[in-house]
Amino acid sequence: MIIRNAVLEDIPEMQVLGKKIYYAMEYSKNGYETYYPLQFTRIIEAIITTQSGFVLLAFNNKYMAGIFVVLRYPALFGSSWRWSEIVWYADPELPKITQGKIMLALLKEAEKKINGWFTLATNSGKNIHSYLGRHGYRHAETTYIKEL
C-alpha cells in the first residue's frame, strides 16, 4: 500500500471514490444531503491549493482505495491550531478487513502531519473505537444532524 499527499490531478479519481463513499454513508441512506461532485471538488481544491489542511490518498496496487481529508483552523479558545477530519474512508467495495487496514494506515500517516489538537469523527464499529482508545484518543462529543 502506498500513501501520499493528493495533488490536483488526482481529483477526477477522487470524485469516483467520493461518490462511492457518499452512497455508503448514512447521509445518503437517510436523505440528509444530495451528492454534489462540484462541491466535493471545490473543497478538495481549496484544501490542496491553500494548504489549509491536507488530503492523503491510499493506493492498493495503483488503485485509489482510501482518502483522509483534514482541515486546519485556529483554536477558538487558545493559541494553538485545531485539526479536524472531514472525510476518512476506504473504498466500501473492498473487504472489511482491507478497509480497516487502509483506514488505520491513513490515520497513522495523518498523525505524523498534525501538530495540535485533532478531532476525529467516526461512526464505524466497535473495533475502531477500541483501537482509538488504545492509541490515546478519547471520546469528546456525540454529533447529531438535522436539516432545518
pLDDT, tens digit, 9 for 90 and up, residues 85-123 = 888 888 888 888 788 888 889 988 998 988 777 877 765
Cβ(93)–Cβ(20) below 8 Å: yes
pTM, two decimal places: 0.82
Phi, psi of 61 (to 5 degrees): 55, 50
Whether the per-residue pLDDT at 76 is higher than 90: the answer is no
**Alpha-carbon distance 74 to 76, whole Å?**
6
E strand or H helix at 119, and its extent? strand 117-119
Whether the per-residue pLDDT at 70 is higher than 80: the answer is yes
